[in-house]
Structure 1
Amino acid sequence: MSMLTIAMPKGRIFEEAAALMQEAGYQLPPELDESRKLIIEVPEENMRFFLAKPMDVATYVEHGVADIGIAGKDVLLEEERDVYELLDLKISPCYLAVAGIPDTSLNEVAPKIATKYPTVASAYFREKGEQVEIIKLNGSIELAPLIGLSDRIVDIVSTGQTLRENGLVEYETIVGITSRLIVNPVSYRMKNKEISTLVSRLTDTIEEKAVQ
């Protein structure tokens, strides 16, 4: 039986997802997150893990080098990859929001929006009937309005502390985000039994946690 290959993002999502799998009865080594290896095999569970950047997880799954993956809904909305979304894991909750300097109005002529999420941001403002110029940045999005690069930003908000520390406020919430279990369509057919078992065990664990 071939190994089930799982692409996981490094960091907080990984820690919460690994804990969820352990609660579901999977025997994962405790040092999994401490390893500097990018590929970790867990032969006792017939699983292999790839540790990747969050934005790359859906790409690995789409191309079939990973059977399944764990990705934030923000990544799935932005990347629009050809994968199946099987389960909301209810972990790492946050949301996408529009933020900016307090008490400032949008420029009437093509206001500028800085973001790591150009696809999501474009769709949001288009649905509102607002024409904006999207500026794609890869990090430190909060800097953009402070130095005059943009009128607003679209970014992930968890506690709002980073916005507050930089003197910014939220103007609108776009969409709530949690981490999702995704699967490659071909793997879903070829390894349906193993994947369905994983989904079933995780679902039971999530439901148990919800009633505690």
Structure 2
Amino acid sequence: MSEPLKVAMPKGRIFEEAIELLRQADFALPSEFDDSRKLIIEAPEANMRFILAKPMDVPTYVEHGVADIGVAGKDTMMEEERDVYEVLDLNISECYMAVAGLPGYEKTDINPKVASKYPNLATQYFKEQGEQVEIIKLNGSIEIAPLVGLADRIVDIVSSGQTLKENGLVELEKMVSITSRLIVNPVSYRMKDTRIDDMVERLARVVEEDDA
């Protein structure tokens, strides 16, 4: 048997939805996926090895060839700009990027500050809007920034909007819709094209059926 196809996936909601897609595409995955805390999980019947990582790290694993394939949010892809192929929109974990702030916020010309986990994406967005702002990169709870005066606004992922509401913030501008994508290492695509194409085709059929 050939070596396992190595797949990098983020933990949490995206992982759960991606695994369900793979099962619908008839990939034989072990039941331990559902409750395992392992960071590397073997799926011998499918001849695959799964690497569980933080969402922002998945494109890094794929770009450097540690993983052949990965599942990453479009937000991460736009922020990281990694040297990988984006081959399929899996249409899972739907959400969107938005600008948020305190109710009644009004734009001023006095050194506006924006906090975000996505400094590159935020910088590009405000540049396109013709607004010059100072971007402050945060890794943790972005919502706290306007509450403590660190920033006037934030740029972050919005799913239900509940987190914003619970922290007294309101959505000011919707930026871009986000879904999770299947990404591939360029070298792996040349060396394992038959297996990767088969995986893409099987997943694409499931995605199309779910959208029908």
TM-score by length of 1: 0.98
Partner of 1:44: 45
2:139 is equivalent to residue 138 of structure 1: yes
Report SS of the residue matched to 1:32: helix
2:149 is equivalent to residue 148 of structure 1: yes
Give, as a single letter, the amino acid of the residue that structure 2 aligns with 1:170: E
Q: Is the 8 A contact 1:73 1:180 kept in 2?
A: yes
CA displacement at 1:109 relative to structure 2: 2.3
2:126 is equivalent to residue 119 of structure 1: no
Q: Is the 8 A contact 1:115 1:135 kept in 2?
A: yes
Q: Is the 8 A contact 1:14 1:33 kept in 2?
A: no
Cα RMSD (Å) of the superposition? 0.7
Counterparts of 1:110 and 1:129 in 2: how far apart (Å)?
Answer: 14
Q: Is the 8 A contact 1:9 1:51 kept in 2?
A: yes
% of aligned pairs identical?
68
Aligned residues: 211
Counterparts of 2:178 and 2:105 in 1: how far apart (Å)?
Answer: 27
Partner of 2:65: 64
Superposed CA deviations along residues 147-170 of structure 1, whole A, max 9, x for unmatched, are 111010000000000001111111
Report SS of the residue matched to 1:69: strand
Q: Where does structure 1 lack aligned partners over 5 or more consecutive residues? A: none
Counterparts of 1:195 and 1:33 in 2: how far apart (Å)?
Answer: 24
Superposed CA deviations along residues 107-159 of structure 1, whole A, max 9, x for unmatched, are 31220000000000000001111110000000110000011110100000000
Q: Is the 8 A contact 1:5 1:47 kept in 2?
A: yes
Against the structure 1 CA distance between its residues 76 and 83, is the aligned structure 2 distance closer, same or farther, given a 3 Å change threshold?
same
Q: Where does structure 2 lack aligned partners over 5 or more consecutive residues? A: none
2:164 is equivalent to residue 157 of structure 1: no
Report SS of the residue matched to 1:31: helix
Counterparts of 1:30 and 1:152 in 2: how far apart (Å)?
Answer: 43
Structure 1 runs (4+) deviating above 3 angstroms are none
CA displacement at 1:106 relative to structure 2: 2.3
Report SS of the residue matched to 1:95: strand
